[in-house]
Amino acid sequence: MRKFFRHMGTGTLLVAGLLIGSATQQAFAEDPFIVVQSTTSTQNSGLFDYMLPIFKEKAGIDVRVVAVGTGQAIKNAGNCDGDVLFVHAKSAEEKFVASGGALKRSDVMYNDFVIVGPPSDPAGVAGSKDVVAAMKKIAETKSPFASRGDDSGTNKAEMQLWKAADIDAKSSSGDWYRETGSGMGATLNTGTAMGAYVLTDRATWISFGNKGDYKIAVEGDPKLFNQYGVMLVNPEKCTSVKAKEGQAFIDWLLSKDGQDTIAGYKIDGQQLFFPNAAAVNG
């Protein structure tokens, strides 16, 4: 290849460069894409790997996902580093919309949080459906608890539960309470390694491959409900936003086809997310 270029004249190289550049521009033009700021749970659970190829085949739009904690995803969207925001901390999302960072927020799907723990169950919470009482027992017995500590949607939910239990868990940081500052998968790995309880979304837990002898200890409390929302980053504030393509993705998610696709994602026969756009948004 190098010999080939050495024998080409300057004019030929210029023409070749223009042709390559034109071909590259054409390829990009034929392959529109959007950037979605989202959570680690939608990525780590495998939902996007399942869902996005279906959307691309139907709409011809590639979706590139930045998977971080919800807090960071909202910050990224506020910095105009994305076209669509798809996260799970409703109050924070509504504040973002109210601030003008995004347009209308819509519910998309839900699942729930669970607390997983070791078979020894040092806090004696296994089988509980009262998450606040379980959190109190964990704190009272100073049983190890691994927290994401990253301002993610899961971490926000955890903090609300500690508040409801009237427990200042952060004051015990470094003792029985350990903050990983990591995503859900990494926190689960840390928790299982140290014999700690962990609050996780059920979808990530189902897809998590390093469970060992860990099991769900606490589940079924309405306080563990986990709602996901989607919104278009405000194109008037962020002029780089691909509003047409981004809205097309949102419209598909909220459509019957998109909702059926979400419901169809299962692992070992277990449904990970439950669509509720029609129920909430009419």
Question: Which ranges of the chain have pLDDT less than 50?
Answer: 1-29, 280-282
Q: What is the CATH number of domain 112-224?
A: 3.40.190.10
Q: State in words which class domain 26-110+227-281 has.
A: alpha beta
* pTM to 2 decimal places: 0.84
Q: How many whole angstroms separate alpha carbon 84 and alpha carbon 242?
A: 9
**Domains 26-110+227-281 and 112-224 equal at CATH topology level:** yes
Q: How many whole angstroms separate alpha carbon 233 and alpha carbon 246?
A: 9
Domain residue ranges in the chain: 26-110+227-281, 112-224
pLDDT digits (tens, 9 = 90+) for 174-200: 999 999 999 899 999 999 999 999 999
39: region left, alpha or beta (phi > 0 left; psi from -120 to 50 alpha):
beta
Q: What is the pairing mode between strands 33-38 and 177-179?
A: unpaired
Residue 138 burial class via C-beta count within 10 angstroms: exposed 0-12, middle 13-18, buried 19 and up: buried
Q: What is the pairing mode between strands 270-271 and 266-267?
A: antiparallel
pLDDT digits (tens, 9 = 90+) for 62-77: 999 999 999 999 999 9
